[in-house]
Amino acid sequence: MSVNVLYKTQAKATGGRDGHAATLDGALDVKLTTPKELGGGGGAGNNPEQLFAAGYAACFIGAMKFVASQGGPKVPADASVTSTVGIGPRSEGGFGLDIALAISLPGVARADAEALVAKAHQVCPYSNATRGNVDVRLNVV
């Protein structure tokens, strides 16, 4: 499958989970730290799972807005997505992710919200990237 790329960004990481990451344009610059749960010291800084969770949550709202622009129910201004991303060893070896999205669409009827979320899950690039690799649980709250 080909992609008609409309936007690109580049980021460079050094030092792995206890290092540094930044976009080459300087818009994002973060210190990386390994959580204690993964054997690190924790402390100030971020980790790849936090960055992924934030990106997925924001992108999913964008996907819902896109679906709404195509005739779906309007996405309220106070809509939110809470993305929970876990990491751990896989039974098949290596490491894997565990992802859940809690979607809040205040004022949207539950059936309409669930239909909007299902359609957004089909167009969201993060959902498309994880499909077939990670079971993403969707929950309208």
Query: Do the beta carbons of residue 106 and residue 81 sit within 8 Å?
Result: no
Residue 32 pairs in a beta bridge with 46
**Per-residue confidence at 72, pLDDT binned at 50, 70, 90?**
confident
Kindly report, residue by residue over 88-119, the tens digit of the pLDDT: 999 999 999 999 999 999 999 999 999 999 99
pTM of the entire predicted model = 0.95
Distance of CA 53 to CAs 93, 101, 111, 114, Å? 23, 9, 26, 21
CA distance 34 to 10: 22
Neighbours of 17 (CB within 10 A): 16
- Rounded to the nearest integer, the mean pLDDT of the chain is 96
